[in-house]
Amino acid sequence: MELRVLGCSGGIGGSNRTTAFLLGQHVLIDAGTGVGELNYSELCAIDHVFLSHAHLDHVACLPMLLDTVFSARKAPVTVYGLPETIAVLRQHLFNWHLWPDFSKIPSAEEGILRYQSISLGSTVTLDGVSVSPLPAIHTIPAIGYRLDSPESSLVYSGDTVGGAEFWAAVNAIPRLRGLIIETAFANHEAELAAQAKHLCPATLAHELQGLQCETEVLITHLKPADSGRTLREIRALDSRHSIRPLLQGETIEF
């Protein structure tokens, strides 16, 4: 299976795109501005969207995706998320004020948007790949995801500061191909990172002590203003793990 990185930045500007991954041809993991990298045919092929949480940099292109493919689809796009995430979408996004309620277009019975609540412990299998929520700690209810193919697994942390439950779940994976984990801020903004419940290099180093297996660590969600500084601080870490930045446009096979 392939995971295509459509966006992995913590901001926009130039080539930066916020978080979105294409799993195979029909599944999105988050729907930030990176979704705009897909052409019309690729957008029409999206049947499922798994959201880590409701912050705008992870859902920004979901309304535009639905609006773009509306006339071309005969079946709804299913959006998966925590009940709290879905509640935010209903109340604050698809509410007829900020954007039309596509769960009721063209009719209440046949809306192009279908919500599906998920929770820790649940698994959805699509096209031979299993998608399972992982615990995350953020400023709002959030999750990461475990992706399992017949060959191996990938983990996407979502926005989080890690935590014992997350690492216990990760360490239980027998064939971990890679760990995509956020590090949004440089160390000089450690206090802001703590308030926003994001990682900085110092807290990343602490959290990676909980990773017991040998696997590639891929850094995502770098803030554009400090991305170079943050990466230098990450490269300076005394870590036994192989760490590199996730690259927009790359494809990870697992």
221 three-state secondary structure? coil
Q: State pLDDT tens for residues 140-180.
A: 999 999 999 999 999 999 999 999 999 999 999 999 999 99
Q: Residue 150: is the preceding peptide bond cis (ω within 30°)? A: no
Where do the domains of the chain lie?
2-253
If you write DSSP's letter for every residue of 144-202 in order, what string do you get? EEEEE-SS-EEEE--S----HHHHHHHHT-SSEEEEEEE--S-GGGHHHHHHHT---HH
CA of 221: how far to CAs of 57, 83, 140, in Å? 10, 24, 17
Please give the helix or strand (H or E) that residue 83 lies within, else none. helix 83-88
Question: What does the pLDDT read at residue 89?
Answer: 98
Question: What does the pLDDT read at residue 160?
Answer: 98
Strands 113-117 and 77-81: parallel
CA–chain centroid gap for 39, Å, is: 20
Question: What does the pLDDT read at residue 172?
Answer: 97
68 three-state secondary structure? helix
This prediction's pTM:
0.97
Class of domain 2-253 (CATH, top level):
alpha beta
Question: What does the pLDDT read at residue 248?
Answer: 96
| Closest CA relative to residue 202, chosen from 212, 192, 214 | 192
CA of 79: how far to CAs of 39, 101, 134, 159, 239, in Å? 20, 13, 17, 18, 37
Question: What does the pLDDT read at residue 21?
Answer: 99
Using 70 as the pLDDT threshold, list the residues of the chain that sit under it: none
